[in-house]
C-alpha cells in the first residue's frame, strides 16, 4: 500500500490527506499544534480559520462559487464540513469557525488511513513523496529547510486580522440589518456614517499609532488582498469609502438615503453573539483600535473580544520553483499546497490541496498526470502561480484570470458573460476529474 507524509493540518493539508486516504494511501499527517502555535493561531484544532469566517460567494457566476463547484467535482471533503457549520451570510458561505474546525478534525482523526503525529517538523525527507502544506506562517527550522530546497526563492508579506466585537455591546438604535441590494436575509449589520462622522473617523484613523514592526520584518511587502485599513485609508480620503466602507446597495432606514460610508459587521459564530468588522484588518495598537473604531456609528460602547493583529507571512516564489504538478522543479519528490504556494484564500488553499494530492497520487501509482485545463478556475490559478512573473504575488479566485474565448467575450452583459465562463469551466472540470478517476 502506498504511503506519503503531509506536513500541516490546515485546509490544504487536511483536504489533501483525506483525498489521498480515500484512495487507499497511508498518510502520516504532521501538525505542530498544540506543541507550538504560530503568531495567529490559537486553537489546537485542524483547519483553523484566522482572517475571516467567510468562505465567500456561492453563486455559480462568481469566481468563489465556481471554485466551490469545481472542488465538489474533485471530491472535496471540507466543503461538507463547511455546510455543517454554516452561519447566515447572504449569498456567501460563512461558517462558525470553531464548529468547522471541529468537524474537519473529527473527520481526519476518524480516517483509518491517516496517522496524525503532533510534533514540529524541522527537516524535509526527500526519500519518498512528501506534501508540504505548512501554511503562510511557516517559520523556524522548517522555513529554513524549505528556503534551502528552493534556493532562497521565497518572498514575504504582511497579513492582518480584523477585530471582533460582542453583539450585546452594539447600539442597535444606530445600526440596521441588511445585505447589499437586498441579497440574502439581511445577514449583515450596517453602521452608517454621515459625511461629518466619516471625515472625523478618517482623520483619526490615518493619525492613529501603529504597532511597531520587528526588525526582521522591516521592508516586507504588504499584500493588497489583506491590506490593513489604516494603510488603505492613508491613500486618500475616499479610498476606503469606495472600498470596504462602500455604501452602494444600502439604504439607511432612519434617513431613507444611502449612507455617506458604511461599515458592515458579519456574524462570527452561529449564535450571532460575536461580530467581525468586515475589511478592518489592522496593525494599529490595541488602545488605538479601541479609540478609533469606537467612532464607528453603533460601536461607541463596543466590547472588543479580539483586537486586530498583523503577522509575517511567507510564500514561495512559485513561478521560479514550482512545476504545474506543485512539486519543486529541482526536488520532484517535494510537493506543496496551500497559501505557501501563492494560492490566496481559504477555499483556494483547500483547492490547491486537492490538486497537489492528485499529482502526488499519480506519482505514487506511476500514472501519467496533466494539470486541469486553464479555462477552469483551478487550472487558471495553477497557471497563474507557475507562469514566469518577476513581480509575483499571491492570487485568489477571480473571473479575470479565466481565458476569454471570442464567443464569450462578445457577450455584453457581465453577469451573462461570467455565467458562460462558469458553465465552460464546470464542463471542463467534470471531464478532467472523470479522466483522472
pLDDT digits (tens, 9 = 90+) for 47-96: 999 867 789 989 999 999 999 999 999 999 999 999 999 998 888 899 99
Q: What pLDDT score was predicted for residue 265?
A: 95
Contacts of 144 (CB under 8 A, 6+ apart): none
Where do runs of H (alpha helix) occur along 74-167?
78-84, 97-110, 140-149
The whole-number pLDDT of residue 216 equals 47
> What count of residues does the chain have?
437
Q: Give residue limits of the domains in the chain.
A: 3-157+313-436, 164-308
Instruction: Round the average pLDDT of the chain to a whole number and report it.
Output: 90
The top-level CATH class assigned to 3-157+313-436 is alpha beta
CB atoms under 10 Å from CB of 297, counted, come to 22
Do 92 and 54 meet the contact criterion of CB atoms below 8 Å apart?
yes
CATH fold label, 164-308: Elongation Factor Tu (Ef-tu); domain 3 (2.40.30)
**Weakest mean pLDDT among 55-69, 180-194, 278-292, 377-391:** 180-194
Q: What are phi and psi of 129, to 5 degrees?
A: -55, 135
Closest CA to 136 of 342, 280, 317: 342
> Cell numbers 506511476 label which residue?
366
CB 325 within 8 Å of CB 369: yes
Across the range 312-341, mean pLDDT stands at: 94
CA pair distance 387, 368, nearest whole angstrom:
22
Grid coordinates given for 415: 453577469
pLDDT digits over 245-295, tens only? 999 999 999 999 999 999 999 988 777 888 999 999 999 999 999 999 999
- Mean pLDDT of the 150-167 span: 79
Amino acid at each position: 500500500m502506498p504511503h506519503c507524509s503531509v506536513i500541516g493540518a490546515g485546509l490544504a493539508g487536511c483536504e489533501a490527506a483525506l483525498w489521498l486516504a480515500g484512495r487507499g494511501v497511508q498518510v502520516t499527517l504532521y501538525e505542530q499544534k498544540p506543541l507550538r502555535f504560530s503568531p495567529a493561531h490559537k486553537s489546537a484544532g485542524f483547519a483553523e480559520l484566522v482572517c475571516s469566517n467567510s468562505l465567500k460567494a456561492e453563486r455559480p457566476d462568481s469566481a468563489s462559487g465556481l471554485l466551490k463547484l469545481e472542488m465538489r467535482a474533485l471530491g472535496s471533503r471540507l466543503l461538507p464540513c463547511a455546510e455543517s457549520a454554516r452561519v447566515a451570510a447572504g449569498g456567501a458561505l460563512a461558517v462558525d469557525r470553531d464548529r468547522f474546525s471541529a468537524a474537519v478534525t473529527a473527520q481526519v482523526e476518524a480516517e483509518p488511513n491517516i496517522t496524525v503525529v503532533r510534533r514540529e517538523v524541522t527537516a524535509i525527507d526527500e526519500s519518498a513523496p512528501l506534501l508540504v502544506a505548512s501554511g503562510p506562517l511557516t517559520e523556524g527550522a522548517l522555513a529554513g529547510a524549505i528556503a534551502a530546497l528552493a534556493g532562497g526563492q521565497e518572498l514575504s508579506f504582511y497579513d492582518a486580522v480584523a477585530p471582533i466585537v460582542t453583539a450585546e455591546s452594539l447600539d442597535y438604535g444606530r445600526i440596521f440589518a441588511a445585505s447589499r441590494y437586498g441579497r440574502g436575509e439581511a445577514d449583515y449589520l450596517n453602521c452608517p456614517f454621515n459625511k461629518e462622522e466619516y471625515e472625523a473617523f478618517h482623520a483619526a484613523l490615518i493619525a492613529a499609532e501603529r504597532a511597531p514592526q520587528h526588525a526582521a520584518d522591516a521592508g516586507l511587502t504588504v499584500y493588497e488582498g489583506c491590506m490593513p485599513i489604516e494603510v488603505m485609508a492613508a491613500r486618500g480620503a475616499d479610498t476606503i469609502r469606495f472600498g470596504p466602507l462602500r455604501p452602494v446597495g444600502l439604504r439607511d432606514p432612519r434617513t431613507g438615503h444611502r449612507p455617506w460610508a458604511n461599515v458592515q459587521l458579519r456574524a462570527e459564530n452561529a449564535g450571532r453573539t460575536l461580530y467581525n468588522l468586515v475589511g478592518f484588518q489592522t496593525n494599529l495598537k490595541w488602545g488605538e483600535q479601541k479609540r478609533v473604531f469606537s467612532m464607528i456609528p453603533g460601536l461607541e460602547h463596543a466590547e472588543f473580544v479580539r483586537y486586530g493583529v498583523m503577522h509575517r507571512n511567507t510564500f514561495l516564489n512559485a513561478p521560479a520553483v514550482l512545476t504545474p504538478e506543485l512539486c519543486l522543479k529541482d526536488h520532484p519528490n517535494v510537493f506543496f499546497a496551500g497559501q505557501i504556494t501563492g494560492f490566496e484564500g481559504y477555499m483556494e488553499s483547500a483547492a490547491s490541496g486537492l490538486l497537489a494530492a492528485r499529482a502526488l497520487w499519480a506519482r505514487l501509482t506511476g500514472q501519467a498526470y496533466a494539470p486541469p485545463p486553464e479555462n477552469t478556475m483551478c487550472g487558471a490559478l495553477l497557471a497563474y502561480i507557475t507562469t514566469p512573473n518577476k513581480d509575483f504575488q499571491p492570487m485568489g479566485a477571480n473571473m479575470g484570470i479565466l481565458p476569454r474565448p471570442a464567443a464569450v467575450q462578445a457577450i455584453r452583459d457581465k453577469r451573462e458573460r461570467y455565467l458562460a465562463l462558469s458553465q465552460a469551466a464546470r464542463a471542463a472540470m467534470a471531464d478532467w476529474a472523470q479522466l483522472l478517476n
